[in-house]
Structure 1
């Protein structure tokens, strides 16, 4: 995308949240030969891409990468190519659900645990009654179950496929199955957003958001899914990112 800035080789969009929402709505509306892959990348993912060749390939092939973290915004400012604001997966999901409620879009949700998946789907159906639930499945499926899940997504052909299996696993999973999911219009990962929507995790208070400290709220209060690294270990990447993009010339 032309209106972007490169941070450690990752091309971050300079669009605001509202501009991004409208841009994605246009991608859903028009006919495409394949799916539109959006990546919400934070400093941790950006740093991980430096030593992960597969992740680099996935980022290069993505249709849009948005700045899901205040560290990205600060790094762009330090570079002299400012990004107006963060565009988080959670905020983007809520905006697209609002648009989907107006336009009757269909959504498929893949990821998190079964109880959280069910509760999030129920909450979404109640809050956005005109959104069509194309289907859902928890993220703890076996290799034997995977073909059936892919077949279900193929049959339902959702306008939006939401992946809640953690980053960068969600994007790597999509990379493996992209050709099989060509009937989907838009795909992106939302991290732990379904945990918040379901009520399992409380959203960060307004003051934390205003101070760009949502990451600290998650670090202190959000549970860690089985199989994922602890949040404290993951946040250890932040000082490295700050040094490489903000402090070091």
Structure 2
């Protein structure tokens, strides 16, 4: 199983004090820079990264390629209504993609066993998880041995919410100005049980100081 992590400043700061998350990041097969802060910091450190790669953009590219190749996907996460709408939308846009299965991100321990069994039986080429960071990557790490049949797995944050139409995509001008994070902060509602987006974004000044000013 190939575990991909899309790292943003929040994950970067959290893994400095969360030893489990630090181990997960070190063992990941590939880490992509999901955030303009990561790109800026890389330039300051003398090892520049050319551009950021968001989980949403990566998901769309994989779906496009999967539509050409007939890849299978399993979608796990977000609420039931949003998950269902997102999968229906992807089936419409990418008719040759095989939906190996889907389930919302709210389940009991007993239900989790059934979900893992379904994933083992269906052996999707790509397992997409939308249960929030860093919980998604910790869940993947915890169930690593039970996901052997999966080829690629990674978290996509709120990407399914965007595809389902629950959240509006970031306008191009915000992306051009590298202010996608600010657009989400101002417009995206916080799911029940999750931290306030303002609290989550408190990692940004810490990251800016440690990675860019302090190097």
Q: Which category of TM-score, normalised to the shorter sequence, fits these structures? A: over 0.9
Instruction: Verify: 1:101 aligned to 2:67, yes or no.
Output: yes
Q: Kindly report which structure 2 residues correspond to 1:49-60, keeping only aligned pairs within 5 A, or say none.
A: 49-60=15-26
Which residue of the partner structure matches residue 74 of structure 1? Answer: 40
Instruction: Give 1:223 shift.
Output: 1.2
Q: Kindly report which structure 2 residues correspond to 1:23-62, keeping only aligned pairs within 5 A, or say none.
A: 35-62=1-28
Which residue of the partner structure matches residue 153 of structure 1? Answer: 119
Whole-Å Cα distance in 2 between the matches of residues 154 and 223 of structure 1? 33
Q: Over aligned residues, Cα RMSD in angstroms?
A: 0.6
Post-superposition CA distance 1:41-99 (Å, at most 9, x none):
10010000000000011011110011000000000011111100000000000000000
Whole-Å Cα distance in 2 between the matches of residues 176 and 116 of structure 1? 25
Q: Kindly report which structure 2 residues correspond to 1:1-249, keeping only aligned pairs within 5 A, or say none.
A: 35-249=1-215
Whole-Å Cα distance in 2 between the matches of residues 209 and 80 of structure 1? 24
Whole-Å Cα distance in 1 between the matches of residues 156 and 162 of structure 2? 11
Which residue of the partner structure matches residue 17 of structure 1? Answer: none
* Corresponding pairs, count: 215
| Secondary structure of residue in 1 paired with 2:208 | helix
- Give the TM-score taking structure 1 as reference length: 0.86
Post-superposition CA distance 1:191-239 (Å, at most 9, x none):
0000000000000101001001110011000111121101000111110
Whole-Å Cα distance in 2 between the matches of residues 135 and 215 of structure 1? 31
Whole-Å Cα distance in 2 between the matches of residues 56 and 120 of structure 1? 31
Which residue of the partner structure matches residue 9 of structure 1? Answer: none
- Give the TM-score taking structure 2 as reference length: 0.99
| Secondary structure of residue in 1 paired with 2:163 | helix
Gaps of 5+ in 1: 1-34
Structure 1's consecutive aligned runs of 4 or more residues displaced over 4 angstroms after TM superposition are: none
| Secondary structure of residue in 2 paired with 1:40 | strand
Post-superposition CA distance 1:129-153 (Å, at most 9, x none):
0000000000011112110000000
